[in-house]
Amino acid sequence: VPKKIDYDDRQYAVYAQARALAPDTVAAWAAAFRRHAGAPPPLTAVDIGAGIGRFTPALAETFGGPAYGIEPSVRMREVAERSARHDRVTYLPGTAAAIPLPDASCDVALLYLVLHHIPDRAAAAVEIARVLRPGGRLFLHSVFLERAPAVLWHRYFPAARVVEEEIFPPFDEVLATFRTAGLELVTVDRVHHRFANSLAEYAARLKLRGVSTFDHLSEADLVRGFAALDADVAAETTPRPVATDLELMVLARA
Ligand SMILES: C[S@@+](CC[C@H](N)C(=O)[O-])C[C@H]1O[C@@H](n2cnc3c(N)ncnc32)[C@H](O)[C@@H]1O
């Protein structure tokens, strides 16, 4: 069983820089959320495992209502409160299985790269269903075991695939977990996500190790991978963006 990642330990200090999103990438996700909101704004949003608030202000802006960022790591939350402030956003301590909001108080919920950190997914699904109003939507972005996206760093760190196979559940298992809790699949959409504007920028970001999968890799694998990546960076003459399409699973509360 892969070790649990404590975001208070190291990730909080590098996450903002390592995982910064370009405004147009945030906008691409926000447009997908808007497409699948199922109701007109104003809507109340909850960002579960909000981290440093990469998406929370965008949820408030997109849906025009209050947005709550629920985050268990004190230090991730501190970064959010400092760097992702918004007059309709409130960051609160909590977890996916213990959301400090009333029953049926939210119209939309976001779970973005958080599923694999949740120890009891069934309990979290029940809790998410509790805070959503009937008809409310869950936007879930994760990696699914058998449909891993074509992310470039897999080429340099092949051992990451082995780690990910242990961390990420298959699509049908996730669907079954949420179905049992009263959420039905609406659709799976795709969002164009740009990680960096060049391979050089991509490599610099990866070296901050703000991707929790790296915390599971051996030092030898990391050294080998970064050496290969550096060689490709040195050979990059025309900067080319590093981007791929990522999946967004949309579920509706019955
Ligand atoms: C990869 S980060 C993603 C953060 C944010 N959603 C984003 O995309 O920037 C994962 C976050 O999940 C949080 N987390 C860990 N366990 C959690 C749980 N049981 N419930 C909710 N969030 C959790 C971590 O503290 C961390 O901030």
Atom of ligand 1 nearest to the CA of 48: 21
Establish whether residue 117 lines the binding site of ligand 1, counting it when its CB lies within 6 angstroms of any ligand atom: yes
- If one counts every other C-beta atom within 10 angstroms of the C-beta of residue 1, the result is 5
Kind and range of the H or E element at 136? strand 132-141
Specify the pLDDT at position 1: 64
For residue 18, the SS3 value is: helix
Ligand 1 center to 78 CA (angstroms): 14
Contact in structure between 66 and 87 (CB atoms under 8 Å): no
Q: Cis peptide before 239, with omega less than 30 degrees from 0? A: no
Residue 2 scores a pLDDT above 90? no
Question: What percent of the chain stands above pLDDT 70?
Answer: 100
Specify the pLDDT at position 115: 97
Ligand 1, atom 23: nearest CA belongs to which residue?
Answer: 49
pTM across the whole model: 0.96
